[in-house]
Amino acid sequence: MIINILTIFPEMFGSVFSTSILGRARETGLLDIRLTDIRPFSRSKHKNTDDYPFGGGAGMVMMAQPIMDAMASVSAAMPGARRIYLGPRGRKLSTPLARELAAEKELILLCGHYEGVDQRALDACIDEEISIGDYILTGGELAAMVLTDCVARFIPGVLGSEESPEEESFSDGLLEYPQYTRPRELDGRAVPEVLLSGNHALIRSWRRRESLAATARFRPDLLESAALDDSDRKILKELKTCFSES
């Protein structure tokens, strides 16, 4: 997959995209991340990319011209790419959306800054706006990193062969069960016995129960749309009784 990121701060991305799983995905060619600096596309004498807002108000607005020219240049090489603006008004990033984006061959991400972007640039060259949550960041760069990271996990081969994005929290509508590693005991705290049993059926059912318990405790709202079977519902009923007794 090719992801081309349009930004006025390309230097922000270095270590995030060259470390760990993303770094490996780039080295193996599964992910080709390109950074396009918007500033050189400015036609103003001093290569300005922002100006005062019409109508007054605090802060600066990113000018449409440098963005539209940068987008035209990038789009010429990636004519089929989905063009996304990272912004707080957009559709909220989620596991289903990340899965959907991972199926694309090419994405172009536009990062805003300051008070935002001249609306005409968004009208002219953006297909959709995506938000990473109901809060305001100083710029779209961090949001572009979050989106790239979470989309990359769904590209086949990006995670190690034994890891699966389908076993993480939210993938089946539930939160994940607790994880443990060595040592077996630490300061009097032992790893649950079942995980040492080698009995995979027992481990699977323990994990399902813990997953249901974590979801019921931390995000009960998720249970309304999670795919549950009769045995899950029975466990939830038992858990409810435990919760109300404790």
Q: Which is nearer to ligand SAM, 83 or 177 (CB)?
A: 83
Q: How far is the CB of 114 from ligand SAM (least distance, A)?
A: 6
User: What SS3 class is residue 76?
Assistant: helix
Q: How far is the CB of 104 from ligand SAM (least distance, A)?
A: 18
What residues make contact with ligand SAM under the rule CB under 6 A? 86-88, 111-113, 115-117, 131-133, 135-140, 143
Cα–Cα distance between 1 and 220 in angstroms, integer?
35
Q: How far is the CB of 86 from ligand SAM (least distance, A)?
A: 4
Specify the pairing of strand 185-186 against strand 61-62. unpaired
Q: Which is nearer to ligand SAM, 33 or 122 (CB)?
A: 122
DSSP letters for 17-70 = HHSHHHHHHHHTTS-EEEEEESGGG--STT---EEPPTT--SS-EE-HHHHHHH
Phi, psi of 208 (to 5 degrees): -65, -45
User: What SS3 class is residue 130?
Assistant: strand
Closest residue to ligand SAM in the complex (CB): 112
Q: How far is the CB of 116 from ligand SAM (least distance, A)?
A: 4
Q: Which is nearer to ligand SAM, 116 or 165 (CB)?
A: 116
Q: Which is nearer to ligand SAM, 88 or 165 (CB)?
A: 88
